[in-house]
Structure 1
């Protein structure tokens, strides 16, 4: 069967790889000049099974109200004249109901664990180098009330088998000595040794090359305009080639993996896709003092930012702005991130040459991604992974390839269709 995969981030590239391994003819189409150029380009790089929990929880509405008046709030809502944004927001509030937390966590953990196992097997088989570290993720807290509240979600995850171990300030510093200077401000934390980190962009580029060698065709700098459907099926994808001329791509099946732009493509066909962009920021620093730089991937819960070691660099990422499709950098946000990093690691990093970046995370109200078949018989979705595209990416691609191939995917997950 010929399958057209629309999008070449980690989600689309992994889907293409696993489809090719199942014996399908695959063509990947992306408007960018290469793979992984958008949300997969410079994110936080954590593979965080232990923190595969939704933003939507019973405490979220009150926190959002508090954050509305803060310029540097970790999650901000900027109202737009956009019905999709308001519909997404109302759906988000529904997902904050107490009865929704456990099923959402169950689904996210199931896919995240499956994806981590898939990644490990791919790493062993393909030998891809991407600055990965298997040192776990350490989440530290500076406020007792927040620490206690966080353990409610952590307890649910422990019930699902996630070993998210509570640790005190002394053990936190033992796990990551670079936090010794701020030991006095830390009240506690939790640590999961099985989690990993690594450069998603390096992995995506390398996997795309392996897929190309396996026969997958990549058509870059090619814009997908629309899907033309008739008789309950997609007949073709209308595209604009790099030379500016219109063209069409025909296939037996189509996978929409275009991140937060997926609704624009599938909604005209009557396919529901409640995905909205949550803009996130990252800052990448060169390390100038190895002795005071962290090696363990960290989450600063008070400020909702993460830190991951990538070779001789440290990647910091966080913030979520629900305010449209602009990727414009907010100077205040950028300066605030540098200030937070300086407070933690004042001598470790080169603060004069910071690489700032922003990306649009494709987020569902529940944070559970949309994976599976749609009401259009040969159209499939693989989108809505939010902050967990790297955590769930390769597993999502493998599971969808199984669905398209007529097999039952391994993880217990609420697949579409």
Structure 2
């Protein structure tokens, strides 16, 4: 069967890998000149099943107001970009800010994320891909005692879900991240998730694409997707600036841009582009650099160690499809790397980047089939596309192949929005 995959990010390339391995002829279409040039290019680098929790939860609206009022705001709304679609999406998200929805959504997210981590283990056994991978966990760092006091609720959830975790005092944090000894007056403790991993998503996607090419996958780059075409309940082709592409089946992995293409065949999917920023910096002093990933809970900024670089990612901005990269948005990520790891790097040498995270109102991706018998979705992963990438791709590949997926499909398809 010939399958056309729309989107050349980590979700599209991972899907191509599994589908090509199962014997299909695969074409990947993307508007960029090479893979992983948009959201997959410079994300925070965390593969964090233990951190897979919905944005929408009890008390989040009030917390969001507090975050916006901070000097170094981790969350902001660009009022110039507010429109009907944005407001509609925000209302849907607010509808999920209750205890019942939070528990349902969290269970769905963790189901995919934990499965995806297993898929990463399996893939490393099969392929020798170099992507600055480290399996040393995530350390959620707390600057205030009240954050420690509120920790028991999170620990209770982790215990119920069987997620390995360690509550650490200051000395325990320094044991796992020795460079924190230089700033021990800045924090009071942490929560370590030893099952989490790190890695450069761009490197991974690029190397996996090479493996896909060995299996015969065709990458149709510099090709803008304009619309899907349907007839008699099936998608017949996709129109692009380079002509019409026909296939037996189609998989949409276009992230934040999925709604724009899907609406051409009458499918409405509530995915919104949440804007994020990152810095990538060379390591200047190894002794002052992190070993894995630190999540600064106060500023919602992740500091992730690659081999000879540090990636600092944070900020959630509601700004529609605005891809401007104003210098003032560097404030929180600049501050955290200099405050927690002074001397580790030189911020003047940083590569500043912005990308759009495709977020659903319930934070769970949209996976599987649609009302069209040969159109499938692998999109809407929000900030966890890298974390959930292989698991989502394997799951959707099994659906396309009419195989029983390894995880329960309940609540993962677009049906939950119909």
Moved more, 256-265 or 98-107: 98-107
Aligned residue in 2 for 1:382 = 378
Unaligned segments of structure 1, at least 5 residues: 242-246
Aligned residue in 2 for 1:314 = 310
Equivalent-residue separation in structure 2 for 1:69 and 1:270 (angstroms) = 40
CA offset at residue 71 of structure 1?
Answer: 6.0
The structure 1 residue matched to 2:336, chosen from 337, 340, 356, is 340
Superposed CA deviations along residues 264-292 of structure 1, whole A, max 9, x for unmatched, are: 01123221211000111000111111111
CA offset at residue 3 of structure 1?
Answer: 0.8
Aligned residue in 1 for 2:231 = 230
Aligned residue in 2 for 1:39 = 39
Q: Say whether 1:325 aligns with 2:326.
A: no
Equivalent-residue separation in structure 2 for 1:380 and 1:181 (angstroms) = 50
CA offset at residue 77 of structure 1?
Answer: 2.3
Q: Say whether 1:357 aligns with 2:353.
A: yes
Unaligned segments of structure 2, at least 5 residues: none
Contact kept? 1:76, 1:322, Cα under 8 Å: yes
Change (3 A) 1:147 1:364: farther
Aligned residue in 2 for 1:244 = none
Change (3 A) 1:147 1:96: farther
Change (3 A) 1:76 1:335: closer
Aligned residue in 2 for 1:127 = 128
What secondary structure does 1:130 align onto?
coil
Equivalent-residue separation in structure 1 for 2:396 and 2:85 (angstroms) = 26
Contact kept? 1:102, 1:156, Cα under 8 Å: no
Moved more, 68-77 or 375-384: 68-77
What secondary structure does 2:334 align onto?
helix
What secondary structure does 2:347 align onto?
coil
Change (3 A) 1:70 1:188: closer
Q: RMSD of the TM alignment (CA)?
A: 1.4
CA offset at residue 47 of structure 1?
Answer: 0.5
Aligned residue in 1 for 2:222 = 221
Equivalent-residue separation in structure 1 for 2:338 and 2:363 (angstroms) = 31
Aligned residue in 1 for 2:290 = 294
CA offset at residue 228 of structure 1?
Answer: 0.9
For 1:234-273, list aligned pairs within 5 A: 234-241=235-242, 247-273=243-269
CA offset at residue 378 of structure 1?
Answer: 1.3
Aligned residue pairs, count: 412
Q: Say whether 1:21 aligns with 2:17.
A: no
For 1:58-137, list aligned pairs within 5 A: 58-70=58-70, 72-79=72-79, 80-137=81-138
Q: Say whether 1:395 aligns with 2:413.
A: no
Equivalent-residue separation in structure 2 for 1:226 and 1:43 (angstroms) = 28
Superposed CA deviations along residues 7-30 of structure 1, whole A, max 9, x for unmatched, are: 010000001110111111111000
Aligned residue in 1 for 2:209 = 208
Equivalent-residue separation in structure 2 for 1:249 and 1:297 (angstroms) = 42
Structure 2 length normalisation: TM-score? 0.96
Contact kept? 1:72, 1:333, Cα under 8 Å: no
CA offset at residue 81 of structure 1?
Answer: 4.4
Change (3 A) 1:83 1:377: farther
